[in-house]
């Protein structure tokens, strides 16, 4: 054969071999990926220059790009030699293997295409994300549970960046469900190898992660997040956790995170918890049914809780019911230090500067024959703003899921100490151990509760604790759970004081005593709104409206100098009969300017608490504070800056807009120095000493209540419906019960 022919034949053979290798690399030996799990991290391969599922795949990629002259990325096809930023990968449990050569087919949901890289498990994708990766998850139920590298837990090992987050999202609106493992159910996933603390989403010291548009239901637990920043949970449904306290969405030591537009339903403990976590935004979520608390902040600061719909209809067969929200410090942690949720040191006086605004706190049942009644918020924080919220739980309401329950409990229960004894010692007093939880609630100071509405409730819309609520606790609180407590105390004694209620409406309460305690039995059938057991000299009620119709309409405020303990609970002390606000204005210096008017709501029974044009509460509100000294410019000193919010440095948040009495010009707060009561503004204003300062209002003065009357608006409290299939245990079996719950959209009102 001539040399030219030999060369031509050899060239054709070489081309044929290259084409064959290309096909092997692209399709895999069996038409799917030849990836067998031996190399766990595709990003590591990329860094090493090995980017396909094999050497052949890489050679095929090289041939396409450099011999055939293809672009690095064409349409939806991903070239693994390209930089990782902006890379999209898919998860599809219809696949029998992974498509690692860019050969995923979106339409056919197979590895016979060129639409990108795809994995058939969530952990496969989680192990291979880098900054800028978007993981699109195809519709289906994901609950694979085979091995550490073959399961459906979302557990990314790398972080994104603020500019290039890592995103896990459902594909094109498809329904993606994590859970429903028929073999394990309540124990899926475990915490030995598949997850941390049995949560199906595990985020452990990884930042800039987005979880978007998923359904997480019928499994052990929802989300574990520790040491994370800039994590976003949005547009998800969390439904039916099954492993007691491990069921929650819990953020520990985590900051600048966003939890927005989610539904939390049916949790075996707490639905959403922030522990030692600061600068987080919880906005526009819907919550119902949790067997402890719907929402909790524990030693967290500078968090914003806005525009959420809260209710908790849960009730056990024995009548036990629980609260909606709780706010308190972190006590001594008696758990094993190996526990992934362990807090190594208690944090007292450390639940500061949180903002609750524009939330709807709705239905929760009473707890018959029990002293510890559920509440909308059980509160033990400091420097917190609670404003423009609706607390609505009128008598007679029942829930279709738990029809034996009936609306009751309290609205805002201020807790100071309480919750069992502090120490338990042996008879010789030589060995003591810490019991109870009262020391997590020892500092309740400098809180501002203004322009809210309280409607209904069976044991008080507001509860103020007794003077000696902390008398049985170690004081100051302990820093270690040790017998020689005196060597390890906190630096300060417990404190309660400077808590102010201003411009609130307290409306149509009805006391129905759940237990045979003297003060509650005295109040049965009375419309008492505020129950004050003590601390009357350090709790201020300024310019609030108290109102009830019908019999006993003047019995609105009750003050009982009680002591904690004794036969029958609050059984002793000296009581005064309940009185109207004018009486308290006259005889107690901490009550000033409170009034008693029928508010004039548009439709209270329909949850429309806007004021009608003839309401006596329009222009009847007090200014929040006053200017100190005369001057002009962009910094103003006021008597009390703690009414205001400057955005807390949270991305996208802005400060309050304020106005001075008698002026129309407004300014936005840029920053606040709370120590010096100084507001820094975005524009110059001019003021005189003693001039009133408020949030923006219409008319001649602010209004009383949650809404500022504006004749140019048509109202924004709208009824909506939440339709989801609720998983419930029925006679020991899992059943699906379709439930429609009325919820109220309150954001932006």
Residue 402 shares a structural domain with residue 475 = yes
In a domain? residue 72 = yes
Residue 608 shares a structural domain with residue 642 = no
- 481: nearest Cα among 340, 379, 292, 330: 330
Distance CA 545, CA 547 (A): 7
pLDDT of residue 335: 86
Partners of 734 in beta bridges: 729
Handedness of CA 403, 409, 411, 416 (dihedral sign): negative
Q: What is the pTM of this model?
A: 0.85
pLDDT of residue 633: 98
Residue 591 shares a structural domain with residue 484 = yes
Residue 632 shares a structural domain with residue 609 = no
pLDDT of residue 705: 97
Residue 384 shares a structural domain with residue 515 = yes
- Determine contact, residues 501/570, Cβ cutoff 8 Å: no
Residue 609 shares a structural domain with residue 684 = no
In a domain? residue 173 = no
Question: What is the number of domains present in the chain?
Answer: 3
Helical (H) or strand (E) element with 16: helix 3-27
Q: Which domain-ending residue is among 89, 120, 151?
A: 120
pLDDT of residue 197: 87
Residue 564 shares a structural domain with residue 535 = yes
Helical (H) or strand (E) element with 258: strand 258-260
Place of tokens 């103003």: 636
Place of tokens 């990926």: 33
Distance CA 673, CA 653 (A): 17
Residue 590 shares a structural domain with residue 649 = no
**Token pair belonging to 407:** 């609306």
In a domain? residue 196 = no
Q: Which domain-ending residue is among 120, 148, 166?
A: 120
| Contacts of residue 79, Cβ cutoff 8 Å, sequence gap at least 6 | 61, 65, 72, 73, 102
In a domain? residue 722 = no
Distance CA 68, CA 60 (A): 10
| Contacts of residue 186, Cβ cutoff 8 Å, sequence gap at least 6 | 219, 220, 242, 243
Distance CA 415, CA 587 (A): 25
In a domain? residue 211 = no
- 375: nearest Cα among 418, 321, 315, 330: 321
Q: Which domain-ending residue is among 695, 722, 744?
A: 695
pLDDT of residue 718: 34
For the chain, the distance separating the N- and C-terminal CA atoms, rounded to the nearest angstrom, is: 89
- 439: nearest Cα among 341, 335, 354, 330: 330
**Token pair belonging to 160:** 């994104």
In a domain? residue 747 = no
Helical (H) or strand (E) element with 518: helix 518-523
Distance CA 217, CA 294 (A): 16
In a domain? residue 154 = no
**Which range of residues forms the domain containing residue 527?**
314-351+361-619+704-711
Distance CA 627, CA 637 (A): 6
In a domain? residue 276 = no
Residue 573 shares a structural domain with residue 679 = no
Q: Are β-strands 545-547 and 505-507 bridged in parallel, bridged antiparallel, or unpaired? A: parallel
Ranges of the chain with pLDDT below 70: 1-86, 419-423, 428-433, 481-486, 561-576, 712-749
pLDDT of residue 632: 97
Residue 504 shares a structural domain with residue 556 = yes
CATH number of the domain enclosing 637:
2.40.30
pLDDT of residue 430: 67
- Determine contact, residues 499/540, Cβ cutoff 8 Å: yes
Residue 588 shares a structural domain with residue 639 = no
Residue 582 shares a structural domain with residue 647 = no
pLDDT of residue 416: 95
């Amino acid at each position: 054969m001539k040399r030219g022919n030999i060369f031509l034949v050899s060239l054709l053979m070489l081309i044929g071999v290259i084409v064959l290798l290309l096909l092997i690399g692209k399709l895999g030996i069996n038409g799917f990926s030849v990836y067998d799990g031996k190399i766990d991290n595709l990003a590591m391969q990329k860094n090493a220059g090995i980017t396909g599922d094999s050497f052949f795949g890489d050679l095929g990629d090289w041939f396409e790009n450099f011999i055939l002259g293809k672009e690095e990325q064409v349409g939806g096809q991903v070239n693994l030699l390209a930089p990782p930023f902006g890379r999209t990968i898919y998860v599809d449990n219809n696949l029998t293997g992974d498509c690692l050569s860019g050969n995923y087919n979106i339409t056919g949901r197979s590895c016979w295409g060129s639409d990108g890289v795809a994995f058939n498990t969530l952990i496969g994708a989680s192990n291979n994300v880098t900054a800028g990766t978007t993981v699109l998850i195809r519709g289906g139920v994901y609950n694979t549970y085979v091995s550490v590298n073959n399961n459906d837990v979302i557990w990314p090992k790398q972080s994104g960046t603020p500019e290039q987050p890592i995103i896990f999202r459902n594909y094109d609106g498809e329904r993606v469900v994590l859970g429903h493992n028929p073999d394990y159910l309540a124990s899926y996933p475990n915490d030995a190898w598949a997850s941390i603390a049995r949560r199906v989403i595990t985020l452990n010291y990884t930042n800039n992660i987005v979880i978007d548009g998923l359904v997480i239901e019928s499994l052990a637990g929802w989300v574990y997040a520790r040491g994370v920043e800039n994590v976003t949970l949005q547009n998800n449904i969390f439904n039916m956790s099954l492993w007691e306290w491990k069921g929650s969405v819990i953020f520990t030591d985590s900051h600048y995170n966003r939890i927005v537009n989610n539904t939390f339903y049916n949790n075996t403990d707490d639905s959403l918890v922030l522990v030692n976590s600061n600068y987080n935004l919880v906005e526009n979520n819907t919550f119902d049914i949790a067997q402890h608390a719907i929402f909790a902040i524990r030693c967290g600061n500078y968090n914003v809780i806005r525009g959420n719909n809260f209710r908790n209809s849960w009730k056990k067969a024995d009548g036990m019911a629980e609260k909606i929200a709780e706010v308190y410090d972190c006590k001594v942690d008696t758990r094993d230090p190996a526990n992934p949720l362990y807090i190594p040191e208690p944090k007292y006086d450390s639940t500061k500067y949180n903002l609750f605004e524009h939330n709807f706190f709705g239905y929760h049942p009473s707890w018959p024959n029990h002293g510890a009644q559920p509440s909308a918020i059980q509160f033990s924080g400091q420097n917190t703003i609670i404003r423009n919220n609706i607390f609505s739980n009128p008598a007679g309401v029942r829930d279709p899921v738990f029809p034996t329950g009936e609306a009751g409990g309290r609205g805002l229960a201020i807790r100071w100490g309480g919750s069992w004894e502090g120490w338990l010692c042996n008879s010789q007093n030589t060995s003591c151990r810490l019991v109870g939880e009262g020391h997590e609630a020892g500092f309740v100071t400098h809180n501002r509760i203004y322009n809210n509405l309280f409607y209904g409730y069976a044991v008080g819309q507001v509860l103020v604790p007794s003077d000696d609520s902390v008398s049985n606790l170690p004081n100051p609180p302990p820093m270690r759970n040790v017998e020689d407590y005196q060597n390890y105390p906190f630096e300060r004694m417990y404190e309660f004081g400077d808590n102010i209620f201003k411009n609130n409406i307290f409306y149509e309460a009805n006391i129905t005593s759940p237990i045979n305690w003297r003060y509650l039995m005295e109040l049965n059938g009375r419309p008492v709104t505020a129950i004050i057991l003590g601390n009357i000299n350090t709790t201020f009620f300024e310019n609030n409206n108290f109102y009830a119709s019908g019999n006993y309409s003047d019995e609105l405020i009750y003050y009982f100098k009680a002591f904690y303990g004794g036969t029958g609970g609050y059984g002793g002390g000296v009581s005064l009969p309940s009185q109207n606000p004018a009486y308290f204005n006259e005889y107690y210096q901490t009550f000033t300017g409170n009034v008693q008017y029928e508010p004039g709501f548009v439709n209270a029974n329909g949850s429309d608490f806007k004021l009608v044009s003839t309401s006596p509460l329009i222009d009847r509100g007090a200014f929040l504070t006053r200017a100190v000294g005369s001057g002009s410019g962009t910094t103003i000193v006021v008597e009390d800056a703690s009414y205001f919010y400057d955005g807390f440095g949270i991305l996208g948040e802005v400060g309050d807009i304020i106005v001075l009495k008698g002026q129309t010009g407004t300014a936005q707060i840029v920053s606040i120095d709370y120590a010096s009561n100084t507001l820094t503004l975005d524009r110059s204003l001019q003021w005189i000493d003693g001039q009133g300062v408020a949030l923006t209002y219409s008319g001649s003065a602010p209004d009383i209540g949650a809404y500022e009357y504006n004749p140019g608006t048509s109202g924004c409290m709208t009824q909506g419906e939440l339709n989801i299939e609720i998983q419930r245990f029925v006679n020991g079996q899992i059943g699906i019960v379709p439930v429609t719950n009325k919820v109220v959209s309150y954001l932006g009102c």
